[in-house]
Amino acid sequence: MPSFGAILEHVGPFLMCLFRLSGLFVFAPVLGSPAIPARVRALVCAVFALALYPTLPEESMKPVAFDGLSLAWAVAGETLIGVVIGLLAALPMYAVQLGGMLVGHQVGVGLANVYNPALDTEADVIGQFLLYMALAVFVAIGGLEAVFIALASTFAHVPLGGFAASDAPLDLFVGLTASGFGIALRIAAPVMCIVLAETLAAGFIMKTMPQMNVLSIGFAVKIIVAMIALIGSLGAVHALAGDEVARSLRAMLEWAGWFGTPQISAAAGGGA
């Protein structure tokens, strides 16, 4: 039976492993959702840490110094690894939601935001719909599994407490963010073009037939036309979201395995 001192030596490394996992529950899709109670997320994080810790390389299980400054720096670095992986996985979700918000703003339904008590926030209707569709794609293609695999693979390359701020994949973030803005515009483009055509047509009608009150029916017509365009483009939006989610997950796994080599950064920038 192991002695108390031998068990105590594992407390520090286990806590570092726990903090690295806890970063996932900040931004990672589904895992970081406020709809999941904080106690449940903490319990899930602790269970995964208990399952993952025995598989760590032996060199990672070194006793951790418990002086204030070094411990705070180690905790921040470990948490940052999980935060980075979760944010890389979540960027496509934000891009798809931004596309839906652009559509809602152009159509006019953005004025009718809906309060979501589960998330404690106001949400654009179309943006929320496209966000849930992107989340379904993320789960369907194995995004949750990829997130945990990416985090587990970091232990083979970065020992506990060995992460530095210079290891953060800034170029990868810039590439995926730029790509996300492009995805948002491509999602909103069909509806925006249809709305532009409808606005021009309403303007011509108003000039040629002044007796017709176009403003009284134009808003309803705009919403109907935009919804038809959005429904017609859902297949393309689904494929576009799937490609972006898969590309982001590949970049995340590559960074977790090689920690942001120039090839990864170049690939992210080129895909943008």
Residue 59: its pLDDT value, please? 66
Cα separation, 203 vs 39, whole angstroms: 56
What's the CA gap between 151 and 227, in Å, rounded? Answer: 40
pLDDT at position 138, please?
A: 92
Question: What confidence score (pLDDT) does residue 165 get?
Answer: 63
The string of pLDDT tens digits covering residues 80-139 is: 888 888 888 889 988 998 888 888 877 776 666 665 555 556 667 888 888 888 989 999
pLDDT in tens, 94-110: 899 888 888 887 777 66
User: Which pTM does this prediction carry?
Assistant: 0.77
Burial class (CB in 10 A: 0-12, 13-18, 19+), 130: buried
Q: Which residues of the chain have pLDDT under 70?
A: 1-9, 59-68, 70, 109-123, 161-168, 211-216, 218, 258-272
C-alpha to C-alpha distances, 72 to 26, 64, 80, 90, nearest whole angstrom: 18, 11, 12, 26
Q: Using the 8-state DSSP alphabet, how is residue 67 labeled?
A: -
CA–CA gap between residue 142 and residue 110 (Å, rounded): 32
Which domain does 62 fall in, by range? 4-271
Please give the tally of structural domains in the chain.
1
